[in-house]
């Protein structure tokens, strides 16, 4: 019932009646959860030597997060990237720090996304000194394309398999105690923890009613709930839900399924990269509600705007709280397989039985 009302609220965002109905249903859910007592915290499984087939069967197909222990320890990025190295190579560059609605710990209430320009070297220095500025969802790999070669592209193609349409890269760089509030997004991803320690809190999407996100039609969902300090008044039932926790160390690879809620706390100065991949089966299977909202009710940006920007790489006009899509590195394997299959069928059709005669 709550999911249906959440979808209706996107279609009629100004309806006070639907909002009151949503509140009634979520309070009923909260009362039911509270009867079960405090929720449990379950550590995310940590594995080694995971094959692509095992990954797709055990984790991707079931929407289960997993840590690949030191899975990226041999990648060039985890060997050569550092705060000092970035300062030496790119310290004179000017970058933009973008604060998106619901994804920033900035105390200011921002009516539109806020972009601050800052010298990269100064930003790195303040992060090491315990500053609060945090670079989230940054397309710095587009500014410095030579960094793309520091990733194992074969791994990123082979693990999700031929159904993955392509990969995007977004960097996260911040100092100790910087964090990102609870949110989720349609695309699954691998997170490469280059350096530092990150602590992730994960909440399954079937607790949507407890997290009570805004029906603002954005490409992601966000919640003001704080798992570290549950507020029984604003988010009743939060202390009674089960959640998972993942602690990432340097060189770890973390798989995050579609639509899984997560907040992230940096326990040391960190550099990490979100390697998102387009996987329609997961996007639909993990939450039909949020998938259909994203396709039919998203307003900022619409799905058409995202596709236009991704396919043609044109800058969208600056709009309220818009997340622009990073560059897509397309997976050509499905197209290649389809082409080769069509060619093989044509070749087989061109063969004519000879019946006793020789060429």
Mean pLDDT confidence for 312-323: 48
Mean pLDDT confidence for 303-326: 57
Q: Tokens 């079937």 identify what position?
A: 206
Chain-centroid distance, C-alpha 302:
18
Q: What is the pLDDT of residue 102?
A: 78
Please determine, for residue 112, whether its predicted confidence score (pLDDT) is greater than 80: no
Supply φ then ψ for residue 130, to 5 degrees.
90, 20
Angle subtended by helix axes 288-296 and 2-11, to nearest 10: 10
pLDDT tens digits, 139-148: 888 889 999 9
Cis ω for the linkage preceding 65 (within 30 of 0)? no
Please determine, for residue 119, whether its predicted confidence score (pLDDT) is greater than 80: yes
d(CA 342, CA 336): 10
pLDDT tens digits, 55-96: 999 999 999 999 999 999 999 999 999 999 999 999 999 988
**Domain-wise residue ranges, the chain:** 2-348
> Beta strands 189-195 and 134-138: pairing type?
unpaired
Residue 117 in contact with residue 96, Cβ under 8 Å? Answer: yes
Mean pLDDT confidence for 156-168: 91
User: Among residues of the chain, what percentage have pLDDT more than 70?
Assistant: 84
Report residue 121 as tokens.
Answer: 């070297």
Mean pLDDT across the chain: 86
Please determine, for residue 291, whether its predicted confidence score (pLDDT) is greater than 60: yes
Chain-centroid distance, C-alpha 13:
25
pLDDT-derived band of residue 317, with 50, 70 and 90 as boundaries? very low
Burial label, 176 (beta-carbon count in 10 A; 0-12, 13-18, 19+) = middle
Give this prediction's pTM.
0.87
The dihedral formed by the CA atoms of 176, 147, 301 and 202, expressed in degrees to the nearest 10: -40
Residue 282 in contact with residue 258, Cβ under 8 Å? Answer: yes
Please determine, for residue 354, whether its predicted confidence score (pLDDT) is greater than 60: no
Report the CATH fold assignment for 2-348. Jelly Rolls (2.60.120)
pLDDT tens digits, 195-217: 999 999 999 999 999 999 999 88
């Amino acid at each position: 019932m709550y999911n249906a009302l959440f979808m209706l609220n996107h279609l009629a965002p100004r309806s006070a009646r639907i909002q009151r109905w949503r509140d009634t249903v979520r309070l009923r859910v909260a009362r039911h959860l509270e009867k079960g007592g405090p929720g449990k915290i379950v550590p995310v499984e940590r594995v080694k030597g995971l094959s692509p087939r095992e990954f797709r069967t055990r984790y991707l197909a079931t929407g289960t997060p997993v840590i690949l222990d030191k899975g990226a320890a041999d990648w060039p990025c985890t060997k050569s990237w550092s705060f000092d190295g970035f300062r030496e190579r790119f310290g004179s560059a000017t970058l933009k720090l973008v604060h998106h609605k619901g994804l920033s710990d900035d105390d200011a209430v921002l009516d539109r996304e806020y972009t601050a320009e800052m010298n990269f070297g100064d930003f790195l220095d303040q992060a090491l000194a315990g500053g609060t500025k945090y670079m989230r969802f940054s397309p710095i790999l587009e500014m410095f394309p030579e960094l793309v070669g520091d990733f194992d592209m074969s791994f990123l193609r082979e693990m999700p398999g031929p159904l993955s349409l392509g990969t995007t890269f977004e960097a996260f760089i911040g100092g100790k105690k910087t964090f990102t509030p609870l949110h989720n997004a349609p695309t699954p991803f691998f997170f490469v923890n280059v350096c530092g320690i990150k602590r992730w809190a994960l909440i399954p999407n079937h607790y949507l009613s407890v997290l009570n996100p805004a029906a603002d039609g954005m490409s992601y969902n966000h919640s003001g709930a704080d798992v570290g300090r549950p507020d029984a008044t604003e988010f009743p039932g939060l202390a009674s839900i089960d959640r998972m926790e993942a602690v990432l160390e340097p060189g770890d690879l973390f798989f995050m399924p579609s639509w899984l809620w997560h907040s992230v706390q940096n326990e040391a100065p960190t550099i990490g990269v979100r390697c998102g991949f387009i996987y329609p089966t997961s996007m639909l299977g993990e939450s039909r509600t949020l998938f259909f909202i994203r396709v039919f009710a998203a307003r900022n940006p619409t799905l058409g705007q995202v596709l236009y920007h991704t396919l043609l790489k044109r800058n969208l006009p600056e709009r309220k709280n818009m997340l622009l899509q990073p560059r897509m590195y397309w997976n050509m394997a499905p197209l290649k397989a389809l082409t080769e299959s069509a060619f093989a069928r044509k070749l087989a059709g061109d063969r004519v039985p000879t019946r006793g005669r020789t060429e």
